[in-house]
Amino acid sequence: MRAVLQRVSEASCMVDGKITGEIKTGFLVLLGIENDDTDDDLNWLANKMVNMRVFGDENDLMNKALADVDGNILLISQFTLFAQTKKGNRPSFIRAAKPDKAIPMYEQMIKVLEGLTNKKVATGIFGADMKVSLVNDGPVTIIIDTKSRE
């Protein structure tokens, strides 16, 4: 499982001209799910994201986590995070999980994040053509891969 975590002052997702999710301060999370991802990967990643201390404290140092700033999450599924680009110029997405695996894991990630934050998680629509807007605060962008945790 791979996540691109962006600290934002605002972010939104639009599908067919309608906003499906929007937040102010918090994280825009682009989530890629791989074929061999497990519940352990999901839980580890959710905890890592929620506890990531990248928000400024009173000294403008990155010492605060999402809860410390009353932040929210906009979670967007993005299979292209597993693009393989070694050969040619057309990426391969063979490592990305197919919808029959990815959709339940994406929905489970929403539930786990809501449980950890005690807040509703804003979302896009899985598989839709989404228009995602954000104001990256900092900018702060962090990539987390569950296969690189050791």
Distance CA 89, CA 70 (A): 42
- In this prediction, residue 150 carries a pLDDT of 72
H helices present in 4-150, as ranges = 39-51, 99-117
Q: In a structure prediction context, what are the per-residue pLDDT tens digits for the chain, which is 150 residues long? A: 999 999 999 999 999 999 999 999 999 999 999 999 999 999 999 999 999 999 999 999 999 999 999 999 999 999 999 988 988 899 989 889 999 999 999 999 999 999 999 999 999 999 999 999 999 999 999 999 999 987
d(CA 22, CA 121): 9
Query: Is 25 a residue of the active site?
Result: no
Write out the two tokens for 49: 């994201």
Domains of the chain, first to last = 2-148 (3.50.80.10)
Question: Of these residues, 20, 25, 38, 80, which one is catalytic?
Answer: 80
d(C-alpha 113, C-alpha 83), whole Å: 25
